[in-house]
Amino acid sequence: MNTRIFLKIAWLFILGLLSYLFFVVFFLSPKINYFLTNTEINNSKTQFDRMVWVINEKSRSIENKENFEKEIQLLLSGVILGKSGYAFIFDSKGKIIFDPSGEFTSKEFDKSLIPGVEKKYLFEELKKAYNEKRVFEYNWNRVYDPHNYSYEKLSWIDYNEKLDWYIVSNIYKDDFTSFVAGTNSLILNISMVLFGVLSIIAIIISVKVIAPINKMFKEVQKANVTTEFENGVKEKDEIGFLATQFNTLLDQVENNRKNFEEQVQVKTKEIQDRLYYDDLTNLKNRTALEDDIKDNDFVSIALIDVDAFGDINELYGFSTGNLVLIEVAKILNEFATKFSVTPYRIYGNVFCLADKKMMGFTKYDEFISELCTIFKNRPIRIEELDIDVFINVTLGISIAQDEPIKAATIALKKAKKANMKFFVYNNEIDTKEIIKKSMYWREKLKTAIEEDAVVPFYQPIFNRNNEIVKYETLMRIKDVNEKGETVYLSPFLFLDISVKTKQYLQLSNQIISKAFLDLSKTKRQITFNLSFKDILDTDFIISLDKNIDKLENENKQRVVFEILESDYISDYTLLEDFILKYRKQGIKIAIDDFGTGYSNFAHILKIRPNYIKIDGSLIKNINNDKNSYEMVKSIVDFSKALNIKVVAEFVHSKEVYENLLDLGVDEFQGFYLGEPSLKIE
């Protein structure tokens, strides 16, 4: 075996080793160090956020300030950030409230200057960093190196408005790098071992591969076969010969791969055609129909049954019957193009035309009329027998039903049984009116969105002193009635339809963005109703976050999300994550319609909302229904025990209001106290 090949491989091995070491030392190791350092920083930031959250939660219900401060001191003393960092607290005047290290307690913190920066007080810069929502970095000294102010410090800052406390982390950045000390040598050692193992495997494989190739090369030489290389490589150059052979091999592999991909595509198309297309007519089949309509809320289906088709088979034979079906498919395909619908063959002599784009009612009326008469004066020409076959059809029609195929099948059976040309499945409701209503509101909502006519109304909510403390945001659409007067339409008329017509997100976005702008007009809270479906909707959450990001922190504190408890909440973990996410931003949480549906006191213990809003159906009957009274009383007692405020809606009379006052309800909403309006104070 020629040793020159192995010498060249040895050189390649050495170059590979050097490249590998360069990659490990100058790229891989720094990347891992950076990742580990950032992971430790993020872990410490999470720990700091949790500590701030605990302080803020405890500050909401302070009974004894001295005991409260002792609890906070104990908390701060027990929390270590990073390797040796901690958190301290000072007020807006620069007075230290508590410093676990004692570093700032012994100094006049309000007069502490940042070294190397002319006349910049540390506490003022920390406050400035909080207002600008940024992490504050500065140089400071160490206890063991008091005259060297070159050590970088990292501070996260949060502010408790109620206590006038600034909560600040005090961490040296190089503490985080100590976590990854020794990582470089460990990575290098592991890499060398790994490289060694892989090298041994590569050498063994090389010997196994090169030996037969070298043998083949010698056999070629014996046979005096000469090869001219396009790039001028000599005949006796083993590497050149080897490269040529491998290039040929790669070309063959590439050609085989392309051929294989083409074969896979052909086979895939064959399978799809068999699965989704009818062999006889080449129309889509029932499986394709079910897949095509499964994600559509508004689908209209017309099933077409060729009447007395058994007689055609009996009279002319099955082969002629198949030819008739092929011609029917061609005619329906042409007809489908005219009305922008899709043709299918469901089974046997039953075809289907599906409208997934919701054509206008007038056009659909025309569609049904023409479909009923399409074969009336149009015989099916069978060239092989030189005959004309006349056929009639019966239609079963389903419009905007939950199970369109099933509904159309029922309609078809009813039409055949009653000897009718067609029958529209209506589920004992006037389908025509439903479609008209849907079309009417879809266009009206489209116009309202385009003309910015979606407006927020506000219904005031009062405290026990009859003072307005917040407003509930309600959606209205500005419109003009037959008399030319401006009216505002309630969502009761259009909200369900807006979900089906995919316009709900645009309506919600306009209401939320306008209500957020109105926050600047009042110092009171503003509440928004959210359903669990909203929480599950990724597009809704993205839109909501964009609007929230535009708010100042102080305005976020005045936003309340009312989550509808009457919705079926399928994932409480997801709900808890949603609440935690927005509570961190200062947004308050209320559980709306509590007392009906799936009221779950155990989950309330976990969620701990700021407010519980009792369902109106209990409030309106509280004077006459003992069960409603006892239920409300239980909810109030339960909420008081958890320090959760109780809101009663649907307060429609003085008697109900006074009854709720006696029960200890905290806040009140209803037409007796104030109706919804554009006005906000």
Over residues 293-317, the mean pLDDT reads 86
Per mean pLDDT, which of 117-121, 225-229, 429-433 is the most reliable? 117-121
Write down the mean pLDDT value for the chain: 82
Instruction: Kindly tell me if the per-residue pLDDT of 223 is higher than 90.
Output: no
Q: What is the pLDDT of residue 467?
A: 95
My answer on whether 493 and 361 are in the same domain is: no
My answer on whether 144 and 34 are in the same domain is: yes
197 in a structural domain: no
With cut-offs at 50, 70 and 90, classify the pLDDT of residue 243. low
**Residue 600: CATH number of its domain:** 3.20.20.450
Torsion of CA 493, 497, 499, 502, to 10 degrees: -120
Boundary of a domain, candidates 152, 180, 208: 180
Q: Print the domain residue range for 145.
A: 14-180
My answer on whether 600 and 649 are in the same domain is: yes
My answer on whether 530 and 479 are in the same domain is: yes
DSSP one-letter string for 512-566 = HHHHHHHGGG-SSEEEEEE-HHHHH-HHHHHHHHHHHHTS-HHHHTTEEEEEETT
Neighbours of 95 (CB within 10 A): 13
With cut-offs at 50, 70 and 90, classify the pLDDT of residue 358. confident
211 in a structural domain: no
CA distance 510 to 268: 46
SS3 call for 398: strand
Tell me which residue of 571, 572, 661 sits closest to 609, measured CA to CA: 572
Q: Nearest 5 degrees, angle CA 637-CA 599-CA 664?
A: 20
Instruction: Kindly tell me if the per-residue pLDDT of 232 is higher than 70.
Output: no
Q: Identify which has the larger pLDDT, 393 or 7.
A: 393
CA separation, residue 432 to residues 404, 408, 625 (Å):
16, 15, 41
Q: Do 498 and 507 touch, CB atoms closer than 8 A? A: yes
Over residues 516-524, the mean pLDDT reads 92
195 in a structural domain: no
CA distance 205 to 192: 20
Tell me which residue of 525, 513, 574, 523 sits closest to 549, measured CA to CA: 513
529 in a structural domain: yes
Instruction: Kindly tell me if the per-residue pLDDT of 1 is higher than 50.
Output: no
SS3 call for 359: coil
Instruction: Kindly tell me if the per-residue pLDDT of 3 is higher than 90.
Output: no
Over residues 282-292, the mean pLDDT reads 90
Boundary of a domain, candidates 409, 428, 447: 428
My answer on whether 633 and 653 are in the same domain is: yes
Q: Identify which has the larger pLDDT, 268 or 283.
A: 283
Over residues 55-74, the mean pLDDT reads 84
192 in a structural domain: no
Tell me which residue of 512, 590, 606 sits closest to 551, measured CA to CA: 512
Run of H or E residues at 334: helix 318-339
Greatest alpha-carbon pair distance for the chain in Å reads 116
Bridge partners of residue 668, in order along the sequence: 462, 648
pLDDT digit string, tens, across residues 22-47? 776 677 777 777 777 788 888 888 88
Q: What is the pLDDT of residue 216?
A: 58
With cut-offs at 50, 70 and 90, classify the pLDDT of residue 229. very low
CA distance 668 to 657: 8
My answer on whether 624 and 488 are in the same domain is: yes
Q: Identify which has the larger pLDDT, 60 or 322.
A: 322
**Residue 342: CATH number of its domain:** 3.30.70.270
CA separation, residue 345 to residues 328, 329, 356, 411, 523 (Å):
10, 8, 17, 17, 64
With cut-offs at 50, 70 and 90, classify the pLDDT of residue 180. low
DSSP secondary structure letter of residue 114: P
Q: What is the pLDDT of residue 245?
A: 59
CA distance 680 to 263: 69
- The packing angle between helices 309-316 and 318-339, to 10°, is 140
| Segments of 565-653 assigned E as strands | 588-594, 611-614, 645-648
Instruction: Kindly tell me if the per-residue pLDDT of 456 is higher than 50.
Output: yes
pLDDT digit string, tens, across residues 551-607? 999 999 999 999 986 555 667 788 889 999 999 999 999 998 887 654 567 677 778
My answer on whether 376 and 259 are in the same domain is: no
CA distance 461 to 440: 34
Q: What is the pLDDT of residue 4?
A: 59
443 in a structural domain: yes
Hey, what are 611's tokens? 């407010």
Q: Count up the domains in the chain and report the number.
A: 4
With cut-offs at 50, 70 and 90, classify the pLDDT of residue 234. very low
Per mean pLDDT, which of 83-92, 214-223, 646-655 is the most reliable? 646-655
Q: What is the pLDDT of residue 61?
A: 80
My answer on whether 134 and 86 are in the same domain is: yes
CA distance 179 to 146: 24
- Single-letter residue type at 305: D
My answer on whether 133 and 150 are in the same domain is: yes
Between 74-83, 193-202, 226-235, 273-282, the lowest mean confidence (pLDDT) is in 226-235
Q: What is the pLDDT of residue 493?
A: 87
268 in a structural domain: yes
My answer on whether 251 and 291 are in the same domain is: no
Boundary of a domain, candidates 383, 404, 428: 428
pLDDT digit string, tens, across residues 142-170? 766 777 777 888 899 999 988 889 999 98
Q: What is the pLDDT of residue 212?
A: 63
Q: What is the pLDDT of residue 305?
A: 94
My answer on whether 414 and 389 are in the same domain is: yes
Percent of the chain past pLDDT 90, that is, above it, reads 32
Residue pointed to by tokens 């892989």: 198
Residue pointed to by tokens 């997934």: 356
Q: What is the pLDDT of residue 596?
A: 62
Q: What is the pLDDT of residue 381?
A: 87
DSSP secondary structure letter of residue 491: G
Q: What is the pLDDT of residue 333?
A: 93
5 in a structural domain: no
My answer on whether 159 and 128 are in the same domain is: yes
Q: What is the pLDDT of residue 233?
A: 45
- Single-letter residue type at 307: D
Over residues 512-526, the mean pLDDT reads 93
Q: What is the pLDDT of residue 32?
A: 75
Q: What is the pLDDT of residue 215?
A: 62
CA distance 136 to 169: 10
Q: What is the pLDDT of residue 365?
A: 85
